[in-house]
Structure formats: C-alpha cells, structure tokens
Amino acid sequence: MNKFSLKEVFRIYGGNSGLTEKLIYENQAKNPEDNIYVFSGATEERFHLPRVDKNLQINNKPIKYFSKDYDYILVVRKGKAGCLQLIQDMNFAINDDAYILKVKKYFIDKVNLEYFVMKYQKDFLNFVSSKDSNGTFSKEIAENYEIELEDIDIQNEYINAFIKKRTVLNKIVDQKKKIEDQMKQTIKTSNNKKFLMFELFKISSGVRITQKEVYHNNGDFPVVTSKTTSEGIAWYANKEWLSTFTKNNKPVIVENECLTWSKDGNAGKLFFRDYPFYQNDHSGALVPKKGVKINLHWFKFYFQNEVYKHVVAKNSQGMLYEEQMANIEVEIPVAENGEIDIDIQEIIYTEYKRLSDIKGKLQSIIDKYSSW
C-alpha cells in the first residue's frame, strides 16, 4: 500500500467565477450539442444547474469546461461543503462553488474513483471550515492530505461487491414500496357509517401520581403515562396502592381490553392493551362500549393518522384531551343491515398484519445491507 498527498495524485481545478444562474439562462446555445451541464455547490442530490453554451465568454475569457473523455470527482466548496460527486461521460463546467479532481496521468490505472469517493467522503467533510450551512471546503488542507492507494485489483473487487449489494438492496427497497402500496389498498372499504368516538367508546383518563410516590409503593403493576417509548409504560407500582385511586367515583385501574392514547407530548399516539393497567392523567383510554363490535388492532392502524390530525398545539406542546377525542368522527364499515361489520375489520387487519410482517422482514434485510 502506497501513500501520497492528494495533490500528487490529482490535479485540482477551481470553477468559473461569475458563472451565475442568470448568466446561464441568458446564454443557451442555438445548437443543442453546444450546451453543457453546469455543476455547483447546490445542496440537493443533483449538483448541476441548467445547461450553458460551452462557447460562453466571461470578461472576454472563454469559460473553462471539462471533457467527457475523462472521469472526475466534484468537490463542493460552498453549500454542502466537502460533499463528493463522481462525474462521468459528459462535458460540463463548474461555477466557483465547486472544485474538480482529475487523476494525473501516472495514476489513471491506479485509482478507482468510485472507490475513492466511498473511502474518503468522510475525510473530505472534515476539510470544511465549519459544520453549519456556511462552511467552506479548504482546498489548502485537502491538497496536502495523505491518502493510501491499495492495489487497483483490491479497489475494483470492493466496488464490484458493493454494486452487487446495492443491486440487491434496490430490489428489496422496491419490494418494500410495493408492500406499502398494497397496505394502503387493504384499508379501503366501501360501505361505511360515520360515528363520533364517544358513540363507540367509553373515554376516560386517570389520576396523577408521581415517580416519588411510585418509589415508595413499588410493585409489578404497569402505570401508563403520556410516554411513548416502552409502550407508554413509565413505572411499575403496587396494585393494592393503585386500587385506592378513583376518579368520578370509578376505579382508575383499567381492566378491559382497550386502546390508550397520549394526551400530550407525542399527543395522539395509540397503544393496544390487553392487560390491566393504571392510567395517570396524561393518558386516555378508549374502552369499546357494550355491544359495540370493534377490532382494536384494526382500529389502531386504520385511524392512527386521523387521531393525529386532531392534535392541537399550545406553546409548541401537542395536546389531545378527552373532549377533543370524544368528537373525532370516524367511518366504520357496516353490513347491509347497518350493523357494524366486525368480520370485514378482522379480514382487513389479518391482511394488513401479513403485509406488515413482510415489510418488517424486508426492512431488517435493508438495515443489514445498509450497515455493510
């Protein structure tokens, strides 16, 4: 493995000063073949501006442009400073918000530019004066930076393996997108009836307890708050102690299968619960009323976004209290006789769950490949 300074391996070219977007638009070639791309320091994924006439002159000097006969690396000087972009098979110019690296003749067969970009991108981001949007790439620091050149066969082998991995990853991402599109189709029903939430659910909230109180009344009974990590369970406390709390002469502990939501913080976040729990005053519960047939798993995935829409902000704090929840309107599938159709809910949820499991498996593969 050999070490060289960057300027020993590459020629570093600056851009065309004064090559503004206005000037570009005003200088389109009559012959389309004379129009070339212009690259800049734009922060979007593509760095090029509209095309410009390659015969343009600025202050009576022809603009400098680069031939499609070579491969280059663009380095953003201002904007997304330090970001690298491989440029191949095109004639182009750059403005003064970017630099171009061109491999010197002696090293042409010794550097795989795609490999170089992958290996040294992080280093180039460090050659920036500051990490905010006003940062400027330092050519002076970069050109004296020492790089290591592995044997070209090693570089090529790495890139070939990476391309194979990327091809597989792209196919998996496409499949995941198809699954997501299919999941959206599964939630469509044609025969629906509108209900307000209070017509379907008993809506309740709990009584505040503190962490200090829980510490002195330790136990294994879950306490649900507005927390949205750990399934919303903040603490575990003594059930006998929790049983002493009432609200409106009713126990605060919820024994029935239900949904809960966070009243503030990440307000509106729904959780399914099929176990007894204590709810504090930052959590609300939706317990289906007697005779109301609701598949809560289906309801959660079907209406989570609708619930989020009714969150209000006060002093940048999201809130969704009982009164607001009670008056949210939802459309529930019904049978021909007008009764709520629990069967279609279960069919929809079963298919949704199947697709969701496939999506999860695909995402785990994507995560595994992406970390390689």
**Distance between CA 169 and CA 163 in Å, rounded?**
10
Domain-by-domain residue ranges, the chain?
Answer: 2-150, 192-340
Q: Which CATH superfamily is 192-340 part of? A: DNA methylase specificity domains (3.90.220.20)
Beta-carbon count within 10 A of 180 CB: 13
Which of 72, 80, 70 is CA-nearest to residue 45?
80
Q: Report residues of the chain scoring pLDDT below 70.
A: 1, 42-48, 131-134, 184-189, 314-316, 369-372
What kind and span of H or E run contains 330? strand 329-333
What is the CATH architecture of 2-150? Alpha-Beta Complex (3.90)
Q: What is the pLDDT at residue 40?
A: 85
**Distance between CA 166 and CA 156 in Å, rounded?**
15
Q: What is the pLDDT at residue 186?
A: 59
Q: What is the pLDDT at residue 269?
A: 93
Domains 2-150 and 192-340 share a fold: yes
Q: What is the pTM of this model?
A: 0.56
